[in-house]
């Protein structure tokens, strides 16, 4: 009986310590990655503003070629929603919606994840002319993990994990656009 009491007390103390630590751990993360593509700015922007085109360069779209996809609205316009449903553990189920378009400059969208976890994260892509024939594309993503789940940010480097996937997507985008 004394051993069980000590074990329970130890577990309670450990959980308490972790909850206190979580009070001081960051809750937000942000990932920004970029690439220069040898194409004029408007050509690049006119490609990325269509969410359906992400199927051609996004690493997540390529992870499960059998995922179910649905679209609502007019692609390339505010309010367009692209939904996905996959059994692949890294893809899951969710949707993204175009929230704002600054023509030729910036595309803001909202990612809504339903499975394997629930979360809403803002994301964006921008285009900036480097020259008449070169465009810098920036892909940004931010998120928040509420207390006490933010404790996971001590063990997971979200920035590194997500930036690797965004970088791969941008390299795929560059390959596609420079081949045309």
Q: Which of 67-71, 85-89, 128-132, 144-148 has the lowest mean pLDDT?
A: 144-148
CATH number at residue 74: 3.30.530.20
DSSP codes, the chain: -HHHHHHHHHHHHHHHHHHHHHTTS--EEEEEEEEEESS-HHHHHHHHT-GGGHHHH-HHHHH-TT-EEEEES-TTSTT-EEEEE-SSTTT-EEEEEEEEEETTTEEEEEEEEEESS-EEEEEEEEEEEEETTEEEEEEEEEEE--TTGGGGGGT--HHHHHHHHHHHHHHHHHHHHHH-
Residue from 120, 145, 127, 162 nearest 45 by CA: 127
Task: Tell me the pLDDT of the chain averaged across its residues.
Answer: 88
Query: Which residues span the domain enclosing 88?
Result: 2-179
Give the residue-averaged pLDDT of 4-8: 85
Q: Which residue has the higher pLDDT, 171 or 142?
A: 171
Q: For residue 1, what pLDDT band results from cuts at 50, 70 and 90?
A: confident
Give the residue-averaged pLDDT of 115-121: 84
For 45-78, the pLDDT digits (tens) are 999 999 999 999 998 888 888 889 999 999 999 9
Has residue 129 got a pLDDT over 90? yes
For 100-114, the pLDDT digits (tens) are 999 999 999 999 999
Number of domains composing the chain: 1
């Amino acid at each position: 009986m004394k051993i069980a009491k000590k074990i329970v007390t130890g577990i309670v103390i450990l959980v308490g310590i972790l909850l206190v630590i979580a009070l001081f751990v960051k809750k937000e993360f942000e990932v920004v990655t970029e690439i220069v593509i040898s194409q004029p700015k408007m050509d690049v922007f006119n490609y990325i503003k269509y969410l359906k085109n992400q199927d051609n360069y996004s690493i997540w779209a390529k992870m499960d070629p059998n995922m179910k996809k649905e679209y609502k609205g007019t692609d390339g316009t505010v309010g367009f929603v692209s939904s996905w449903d996959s059994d692949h553990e890294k893809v899951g189920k969710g949707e993204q919606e175009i929230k704002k378009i600054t023509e030729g400059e910036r595309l803001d969208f909202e990612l809504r994840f339903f499975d394997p976890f629930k979360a809403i994260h803002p994301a964006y892509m921008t285009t900036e002319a480097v020259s008449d024939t070169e465009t810098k594309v920036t892909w940004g993503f931010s998120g928040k993990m509420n207390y006490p789940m933010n404790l996971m940010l001590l063990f997971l480097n979200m920035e590194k994990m997500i930036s690797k996937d965004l970088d791969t997507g941008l390299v795929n985008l560059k390959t596609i656009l420079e081949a045309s």
